[in-house]
Chains A and B, each alone.
Chain A
């Protein structure tokens, strides 16, 4: 059973709409991440957070924003969706205190976004 939840699983939305992709984890992990993945392509980090009120942009330029008001919740928002935002969005978390990264990430099931 997953300990990190993403909703919705699939979303088809019109250009210009504002959308929020939800991600919640029940493991008490401090660190959370958003990745973008296109079919057959590598994962690209778009945002990460090392704790409440801490957010940083990742390596891939993104027009999205994130917030981290509670440890368990890390939503991603697109203010005005465009067809170029069509992709799979993966949320992940990892434990702090495992700073050598020995245990890796736990991924959510993903949100497949299509902007028409």
Chain B
């Protein structure tokens, strides 16, 4: 079983719609959760992080975490063509005695259609 699983997509939404990206993780010991955006040919950039159950909002982005269900999602409101990218879910958990380790999903490709 993979540490982090995402629907690979592609996901297409019209401009102005809400895009919903989902992620599940396998280890209940995971401590914090991240969403990265990666444009084609570019490196990932951090857009949201969350570590408590519930919702966290930042502008048009909302991250939702449900630790009981081991589920984290990202909602993008008022989607714009510039949001078209691959979104990577990452989780952080204790891996060794020296520190935490990140695990990434395969990413969901999002296309926002003008």
Contact B106 A99 (CB under 8 A): no
Binding stretch for chain A, among B62-70, B76-84, B94-102: B94-102
Contact A43 B104 (CB under 8 A): yes
Q: Is A74 an interface residue (CB 8 A)?
A: no
Give the contact-size bracket for chain B. 20 to 34
How many angstroms from the CA of A42 to the CA of B21 in the assembled complex? 16
Note all chain A residues with C-beta closer than 8 A to B49.
Answer: 102-104
Contact A107 B43 (CB under 8 A): yes
Note all chain A residues with C-beta closer than 8 A to B36.
Answer: 104
* Least distance between A99 CB and chain B CB atoms (Å): 6
Contact B102 A108 (CB under 8 A): no
Interface centre among A56, A102, A103, A105 (most CB of B within 10 A): A105
Note all chain B residues with C-beta closer than 8 A to A43.
Answer: 44, 88, 104
How many angstroms from the CA of A110 to the CA of B44 in the assembled complex? 10
* Least distance between A108 CB and chain B CB atoms (Å): 6
Q: Is A109 an interface residue (CB 8 A)?
A: yes
* Least distance between A88 CB and chain B CB atoms (Å): 9
* Least distance between B105 CB and chain A CB atoms (Å): 6
Contact A105 B32 (CB under 8 A): no
**Given B32, B34, B43, B99, which contacts A96 in the complex, CB threshold below 8 Å?**
B99
Q: Can you pick out 23 interface pairs between chain A and chain B where the beta carbons lie within 8 Å of each other?
A: A33-B102, A43-B44, A43-B88, A48-B101, A56-B96, A90-B43, A90-B44, A99-B100, A100-B31, A100-B51, A100-B92, A101-B34, A102-B32, A102-B49, A102-B51, A103-B49, A104-B36, A104-B49, A105-B44, A106-B46, A107-B44, A108-B43, A110-B42
